[in-house]
């Protein structure tokens, strides 16, 4: 099941598919390992606040993802 990621303005910016975060055009942007988000180079960049949420939002203050409300 795909999950959506929205930025702070509510714009759809990415899709979670399996263990990858993809751009809206399908290019792989990040890897997921549990709730941690990594660049493709392996550098930790943030985490998903709730692994089971169907829609997520990028939290600018912390640089991490959080469920969409």
Per-residue pLDDT tens for 13-69?
889 899 999 999 999 999 988 878 899 999 988 876 654 555 555 555 455 554 443
d(CA 5, CA 25) in angstroms, rounded, equals 13
pLDDT at 47: 75
C-alpha distances in Å from residue 21, one per residue of 25, 31, 40: 11, 6, 10
pLDDT at 69: 33
Position 3 pLDDT exceeds 80? yes
28: domain range? 3-67
Domain count, the chain: 1
d(CA 52, CA 32) in angstroms, rounded, equals 13
d(CA 37, CA 56) in angstroms, rounded, equals 13
Residue 48 has what DSSP assignment? B
């Amino acid at each position: 099941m795909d999950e959506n990621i929205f930025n702070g303005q509510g714009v759809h910016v990415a899709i979670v598919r399996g263990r990858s975060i993809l751009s809206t055009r399908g290019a792989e942007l990040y890897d997921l390992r549990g709730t941690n988000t990594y660049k493709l180079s392996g550098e930790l960049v943030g985490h998903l606040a709730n692994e089971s949420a169907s829609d997520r939002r990028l939290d600018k203050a912390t640089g991490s993802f959080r469920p969409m409300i």
